[in-house]
Chains A and B, each alone.
Chain A
Amino acid sequence: MRRMLALYAAGVYLFLHLPLAILAASASTPRGLRCGRVFR
């Protein structure tokens, strides 16, 4: 029961953090970094 709850919570945390993590990762690609230079 406790393990299932932890697994479920991990899934919800993934749902909460994955979109932003992917967005952050895309900003670190060469193209993302080129776009980032615009803000300097």
Chain B
Amino acid sequence: MRTIRNIFLAPSALVMLLLVAAPMAIVLYYSLLTRGVYGGVEWPLTLENWRRLADPLYLHILARTAALAAAATALCLVLGFPLALFISRAGPRKNLYLYLVILPFWTSFLVRTYAWMFLLRETGVINAALMGLGLIREPLGMLYTPGAVLVGLVYGHLPFMVLPLYAALERMDRSLLEAAADLGARPWQAALRVLVPLAAPGIRAGSVLVFIPCLGAYLTPDLLGGSKTVMAGNLIQNQFTQARDWPFGSAAALALMAIILTLLVAWVRREKEPLL
């Protein structure tokens, strides 16, 4: 029995070894090498790249990344929870509303981000509308700010929050809310004490699905944040392209991965149940 199990597991284990473990080992090896004069990598092995991560400049970028990812997750939850609740109670139109959530995903992520550039730039639609209405005299500088990055992150990841929330709310027994009301709970009390705890698995899954990609986001901060709002993903990309410092880029990439894994493991241990 065990032999059969091992035979069936072997292909996936091989894929994991070749496509996950081996590249990770290469990245780890590179992170211990020294940057060459012309941008290559060379001996000797050193821990200097890992030490450089403790530089206040990089710690500031990591802190900003974590703050923006947390804010994007919280905003996705605030926007997504009522939407998921609405869809779960929509009756026969449920599928149409779900379809409308997924519809923007039919276009490229790049096009969706460019759409926001089109809206937020100084000659963009929002500034033109505000100036047309006489609310402002000079265009607001909305593009290339942390706010623009936050909007882009929320816009790009909102469906990842809505879909798990919908799955959790759809399964919920609605008579429990009626029971709470019968027992004297006000609507907000029933929402806080019945609805939110029952939707907790969806909230957890949605938060993880939004927070992790936001931590590694590269395109959104690059296009909407410019050089002012650098996130960890941009830092890593810059090391591999402009700075040609592959060892430091590898160390930064592994550090980001280690932070995400630590957060996930801590979360799973605290919750004592499967994450997704």
Digitize B56-82: 1 where CB-to-A-CB distance is under 8 Å, 0 elsewhere.
Answer: 000000000000000000000001101
A5 engages B86 (CB within 8 Å) = yes
Contact count band on B: 20 to 34
| Docked CA distance A19–B118 (Å) | 8
Answer yes or no: B50 CB below 8 A from chain A CBs.
no
Answer yes or no: A38 CB below 8 A from chain B CBs.
no
B111 engages A23 (CB within 8 Å) = yes
| Docked CA distance A5–B158 (Å) | 17
Which A residues lie within 8 Å of B82 (CB)? 5, 8-9, 12
Closest residue to B118 on the A side, CB-wise?
A23
Query: What secondary structure prevails in chain B residues at the interface with A?
Result: helix
Which A residues lie within 8 Å of B111 (CB)? 20, 23
Among B118, B119, B125, B158, which residue has its beta carbon within 8 angstroms of that of A16? Answer: B158
Which A residues lie within 8 Å of B104 (CB)? 16-17, 20
Closest residue to B120 on the A side, CB-wise?
A19
Known contacts: A16-B155, A20-B112. The answer to whether A9 contacts B107 by CB under 8 A is: no
A8 engages B118 (CB within 8 Å) = no
| Docked CA distance A23–B101 (Å) | 18
Which B residues lie within 8 Å of A2 (CB)? 89
| Docked CA distance A16–B83 (Å) | 12
Which B residues lie within 8 Å of A13 (CB)? 83, 100
Digitize A9-29: 1 where CB-to-B-CB distance is under 8 Å, 0 elsewhere.
Answer: 100110111011011001000
Answer yes or no: B246 CB below 8 A from chain A CBs.
no
Q: How close is A37's CB to chain B, nearest CB, in angstroms?
A: 19
* Most A CB within 10 A of own CB, among B80, B86, B158: B86
Among B80, B83, B101, B118, which residue has its beta carbon within 8 angstroms of that of A22? Answer: B118
| Docked CA distance A19–B156 (Å) | 12
Which B residues lie within 8 Å of A17 (CB)? 100, 103-104
Which 4 A-B residue pairs are closest in the complex by CB-CB distance? A19-B115, A9-B86, A23-B115, A12-B83
21 chain-A/chain-B pairs, Cβ below 8 angstroms: A1-B187, A2-B89, A8-B86, A9-B82, A9-B86, A9-B97, A12-B80, A12-B82, A12-B158, A15-B158, A16-B100, A16-B158, A19-B115, A19-B116, A19-B119, A20-B112, A22-B125, A23-B114, A23-B115, A23-B118, A26-B118
